[in-house]
Amino acid sequence: MTTKYDELKEAIAEYGEAAMENLVRCKGFGEAVLSGYADWLSCPKEKVVAVPAQGPFDPRHHYGDAAFSFHGAQVVRLEPVLFGICAIVDNVEDSGALWLRTGVRVEVTGDTFDVYVANQPMVKVPLEFSGKLDPVFESIFAELLSVFKKDLATFQDERFTHGIGFMPGA
């Protein structure tokens, strides 16, 4: 005879299995995105690195699993996995570089990954994603590029040509 306590134990066991499967799948997906993005951009591998999705970061530091939201969690939860991706873009004018980071949120829903890149629309990718990551790469690229396009559009907006600056003293 199954007791209510046994039912709770079974539910917890099922949850734990699902949470671990989600973590493993999402981590594998994230690693594939991180390793494939440099090739997609046609840049050296060391110009794309994994970083935490939020908070301070240094792309020269090797984060490993610390780039993923599950790092340091005492309990594996059935929740989306977040990670950061940083493109290190060399300056044209000097020897410096700009660090462009965006966060990626991944969750398994049925037979697909639902992928959210910052402010971009959701991208659905099959669980068997080999060779099917271009829409994710496009989304990351669009997000990184949008930062500059928005600021540049404001700067070039003719409506502000005579409205920005100092007012002459009376």
Q: Is residue 166 part of a domain?
A: no
Q: What is the pLDDT of residue 154?
A: 61
Per run of 10 residues, the mean pLDDT along the chain (length 170 residues) is 95 95 96 96 96 94 95 90 95 83 95 96 97 97 86 59 48
Question: Using an 8 Å Cβ cutoff, are 132 and 29 in contact?
Answer: no
Q: Is residue 163 part of a domain?
A: no
pTM: 0.83
The burial class, CB within 10 Å (0-12 / 13-18 / 19+), for 40 is middle
Q: Is residue 45 part of a domain?
A: yes
Q: Is residue 81 part of a domain?
A: yes
| Structural domain boundaries enclosing 147 | 4-157
User: Which amino acid is present at 110?
Assistant: G
Q: What is the pLDDT of residue 166?
A: 45
Q: What is the pLDDT of residue 158?
A: 58
Q: What is the pLDDT of residue 93?
A: 79
Q: What is the pLDDT of residue 73?
A: 87
Helix (H, G, I), strand (E, B) or coil at 84: strand
Q: What is the pLDDT of residue 164?
A: 47
Interhelix angle 4-41/134-156, nearest 10 degrees = 60
Cross-strand pairs, 108: 113
Q: Would strands 97-109 and 48-51 be described as parallel, antiparallel, or unpaired?
A: unpaired
Q: Is residue 54 part of a domain?
A: yes
- Identify which of 163, 160, 128, 121 has the alpha carbon closest to the alpha carbon of residue 142: 121
Q: Is residue 96 part of a domain?
A: yes
Q: Is residue 29 part of a domain?
A: yes
Structure tokens at 45: 């591998």
Rounded Cα distance between 116 and 107, Å, is 9
Q: How many domains does the chain have?
A: 1
Q: What is the widest separation between alpha-carbon atoms in the chain?
A: 91
Q: Is residue 19 part of a domain?
A: yes
Helix then strand then coil, in percent of the chain rounded to 5, is: 40, 20, 35
